[in-house]
Amino acid sequence: MKIKVDNREHTLIKLLKALNNDYEFHLEIEVCKMDIGDIAIFNAEGEELLLIERKKISDLAASIKDGRYQEQSYRLNGHSLHNHNIIYLIEGRISFFSSKYSKVTPGTLYV
């Protein structure tokens, strides 16, 4: 199995490499600049199986507010991978999210 990770995902890269070494998962980890998504998972034949876009709750709120979320969703929908194989991985606890500064309600983030 091959995992491509966007080169801006420093913490994730370190974690994946450590897990791969500690548990001998035998993953091929490629770090590169990805135009879309943060993580892509491929099978042994090189077929892309899954595309993951990571967002912290605060980043998701900011991207909804400034329109980047819509633009990024449009680009993800244009990807050759079927929509069922594209995942948004939202990090954080919505119960701790405050709309005080972002003007995005927690209900908006449940969509």
Indicate whether this model's pTM tops 0.85.
no
* pLDDT tens digits, one per residue of 14-40: 999 999 988 888 889 999 999 999 999
Q: Which domains does the chain have, with CATH numbers?
A: 2-109 (3.40.50.10130)
The pLDDT of residue 103: 67
**What sign does the CA torsion over 108, 56, 43, 35 have?**
positive
Check pLDDT > 70 for residue 97.
Answer: no
